[in-house]
Chains A and B, each alone.
Chain A
Amino acid sequence: MLKSLTPLLWFLFSAGGTVAALLFPIHFLVTGIAVPLGWLEAPSYQSVLDLAGHPLTRLYLFVLICLPLFHAAHRFRYTLYDGLKIKHLTLLIVTVCYGTALVGTMAAAYFLLSLL
């Protein structure tokens, strides 16, 4: 079954890698560094809620969360193979990596839908 999923997993890897490369640096800089250090003022809760209320924003956030999750899961799987030489644990590694990405995706869908 893993074999037949391989093209899909590689597609998610490259799509997620592109999303993470183009969009993560600025989001991380703003949310993770600039706002906590006080370089930028965080917008009010209400204005963030209004922004997230728009369906396009929610679609954007869904893509922003789930594609990079699958990218990271796929890449981390092969890092474990090459780096730690534990290819014989394939089933466990695959379950943990893609399982995390899948649970994260479902959680993102759930929270974004409950923003309605």
Chain B
Amino acid sequence: MSSQPHYTAYHPKWYRRPVSVWWWLERWPYTKFVLRELTSLPVGYFALLTLWQVRALVEGEAAYQRFLARLESPAFLMLNIICFGGIMFHALTWFHLTPKAMVVRISGKRLPDAFIIFLNYVGWIGLSAGIVLIWMRG
């Protein structure tokens, strides 16, 4: 009697704890991580808003004034205030992550993380001031 090895469709499955879609609400560091990742939405939104502004600029003065008027509506103001929070969260977390993503060595010595973070803030404040100056001058 020759018996062929008999295979079944049932393969033993290792036990895996099922993970809920809401795993990131279980602990604050996880929540912070997901909130940081979700800043992609306000960032994308503001890039598209800028694109919309450029389009209005191309279409002429009436379209540009309509664009400005639309941003004054309560719905846009609310959305923009919330999204501004998201953009700030992105900026601050980004400044604090750069020394982890990019290690800078000067003559073999690693620049301290705090120094790179400090440079980020200096650059940020400087650029912001420059943009406001250009904007005010028109």
User: Residues of A at under 8 Å CB distance from B?
Assistant: 14, 16-18, 20-33, 35-37, 40, 42-45, 47-52, 61, 64-66, 68-69, 71-76, 78-79, 82-85, 100, 104, 107-108, 111-112, 114-115
**B123 close to A (CB within 8 Å):** yes
Q: How far is the CB of B89 from chain A (nearest CB, A)?
A: 10
B87: A residues at CB distance < 8 A: 20, 24-25, 28
Contacting pair A65 B47 (CB below 8 A): yes
Given contacts A47-B138, A51-B138, A104-B47, contact A17 B37 (CB under 8 A): no
What separation, in Å, do the CA atoms of A14 and B98 have in the docked complex?
10
Taking the closest CB of chain B, its distance from the CB of A11, in whole angstroms, is 12
Q: Are B77 and A36 in contact (CB under 8 A)?
A: yes
A-B contacts, CB under 8 A, total? 163
Sample 12 A-B pairs with CB under 8 A, ordered by A number. Answer: A16-B43, A24-B90, A27-B46, A28-B87, A32-B83, A36-B72, A36-B77, A52-B54, A52-B57, A69-B48, A76-B44, A79-B40
The 5 closest A-B pairs by CB, nearest first: A72-B44, A47-B138, A32-B80, A75-B40, A26-B128
Whether B83 pairs with A71 at a CB distance below 8 angstroms is no
B49 adjacent to chain A (CB < 8 Å): yes
In the assembled complex, the CB of B30 is this many whole angstroms from the nearest CB of chain A, namely 10
B134 interface residue per 8 A CB criterion: yes
Number of interface residues of B (CB under 8 A): 53
**Contact present for A48 and B57 (CB under 8 Å):** yes
Of the candidates A23, A45, A85, A115, the one whose C-beta lies within 8 Å of that of B19 is: A85
- B118 on interface, CB distance cutoff 8 Å: no
**How far does the alpha carbon of A32 sit from the alpha carbon of B37 in the complex, in Å?**
22
CB <8 Å contact, B43 and A108: no
Within 8 Å by CB of A65, from B50, B61, B95, lies B50
